[in-house]
Amino acid sequence: MTAIMNIGFDNNKYLTMQSEHIRQRISQFGNKLYLEFGGKLYDDYHASRVLPGFEPDSKLRMLMQLADQAEIVIAISAVDIEKNKIRGDLGITYDSDVLRLINVFEERGLYVGSVVITQYAGQSGADLFRSRLQKLGIRVYTHYVIPGYPSNIPLIVSDEGYGRNDYIETSRPLVVVTAPGPGSGKMATCLSQLYHEHRRGIRAGYAKFETFPIWNIPLKHPVNLAYEAATADLNDVNMIDPFHLEAYGKTAVNYNRDVEIFPVLNAIFEKISGVSPYKSPTDMGVNMAGNCICDDEVCQEASRQEIIRRYYHALSELASGSKPEDEAIKIELIMNQAGISKNDRRVVGAALARAEETDGPAAAMELADGKIVTGKTSELLGASAALLLNALKELAGIPHEEHVISPVAIEPIQRLKTAYLGSKNPRLHTDEVLIALSISAATSKTAQLALEQIPKLAGCQVHTTVILSAVDIKTFKRLSVQLTSEPVYENKRLYSKN
């Protein structure tokens, strides 16, 4: 299998088709629609990896086409605030991400109406966060824990259930409910609002915008399997929508949480108008992504690679003690369903072979043209730093034996690390080697040429034979390199300054 650099998804078609479909759904409900936005609204890197051509901000750009009709409500769980839950891809807490999202939306001309704190049960962290938001001039509402949710429908759809929640004041036809991550209470927020709107005599509707699983491609399509791998820690399971099959005799893909909540939604609609407008959870959705896949094989291969990357990530978290074994076991089963193994990631074999040859940590990178470049550990450089230099030289057409960093640039950094910052490791990390390269570029045209190749690293695949330091992981992420590592540490020390 080779690196995926081809386009498999028509992003322009998606922006047009998706915004038009949402407009149609707004009009269906008398010009008031609560739209639950699942997944990442602004930076959906998972979608961009499994659907090459999908831009990480596609959903935000699509929403900007509806800016005059839309307002945004951000939901965050009091439980997540209390335990300082971290958004894994950005490394920031959910409450910090709420502030980041507000800035992102407002900078793009989108109106953020309010924040709703869900699953509130007196958590002190939630109280502090509410106070912080209010001091910033942001409207905050509170939704409470409902015992027996979602099965106790009589309690949920009552004054003691949704009726106890704050009514969120909104002013526009499209109310987009989004969140920093899953389990934040987006759907419950939408349904609570429907209940309150009905009490006020206002006709309103609900729809769901969830990119994955894609409802109109096969259940075991690699794109849908990659979504299962991405949500292995949530125990989400893709399944055939039984309600859709019964109503229409057609197969559609959904997932367990939507199927489980569907009777609740039906009960709410029936109390509002005597009949539900939807016959299945798939009917609730407005996702057009499946209609915009222009090269299915490209998307299938990208998704297979994503599953393998998720597997390695789960193994690394298991090795660090931050996650249980269950997640890795589940993803391994998904790999079996997809008919793939670790060996289908080309950089894995190349890195392991280089490590065996040099008897030390090694790394490998697959460039856009499919060429494999490797790096080894030396006295001056760690394997990842060496790999970066080798890749940049390859991209620039610089002979491997030619040095692009002057020793004059390396030695002061090593001296700073060991003599002044207390590090026992004199080898340069990835960020340090890039700084040294930029210093050398001031006096060397060859170094400048290598430095100019950095943007070409985006999307390249990398595998290392040991778990990297946080510094190296962060550097690769900033370079938009897709990294995996063997789930072992270079040494067995329990703590290291690196």
Domain map (residue ranges) of the chain: 11-295, 347-498
Number of CB atoms found within 10 A of residue 341's CB = 13
Q: What is the pTM of this model?
A: 0.86
pLDDT band for position 498 (50/70/90)?
very low
378 close to 386: Cβ distance less than 8 angstroms? yes
- The overall average pLDDT reported for the chain is 91
pLDDT band for position 384 (50/70/90)?
very high
Amino acid (1-letter code) at residue 163? G
Contacts of 102 (CB under 8 A, 6+ apart): 74, 112, 115, 138
Q: State both tokens at 458.
A: 């985006």
Residue 377 and residue 420: Cα distance in Å, rounded? Answer: 23
Which numeric CATH code is attached to 11-295? Answer: 3.10.630.10
Residue 24 and residue 48: Cα distance in Å, rounded? Answer: 26
- Angle in degrees, 0-180, between the axes of helices 186-199 and 256-273, rounded to the nearest 10: 0
pLDDT band for position 493 (50/70/90)?
very low
Closest to 207 measured CA to CA, from 271, 275, 258: 258
Residue-wise pLDDT tens digits, 19-48: 999 999 999 988 899 999 877 777 788 999
Q: What is the CA radius of gyration of the chain?
A: 25
Tell me, what's the pLDDT at 308? 98
Q: Is the dihedral of CA 436, 464, 365, 89 positive or negative?
A: negative
Closest to 331 measured CA to CA, from 231, 217, 215, 212: 231
**Same fold flag, 11-295 and 347-498:** no
CATH fold of the domain at 347-498: Cytidine Deaminase; domain 2 (3.40.140)
β partners of residue 463: 364, 484
Asked which of 6-10, 203-207, 230-234 is least confident by mean pLDDT, the reply is 230-234
242 close to 254: Cβ distance less than 8 angstroms? no
Our separate counts of H helices and E strands in the chain read: 20, 14
Residue-wise pLDDT tens digits, 207-261: 999 899 999 999 999 999 999 999 888 778 999 999 999 999 999 999 898 898 8
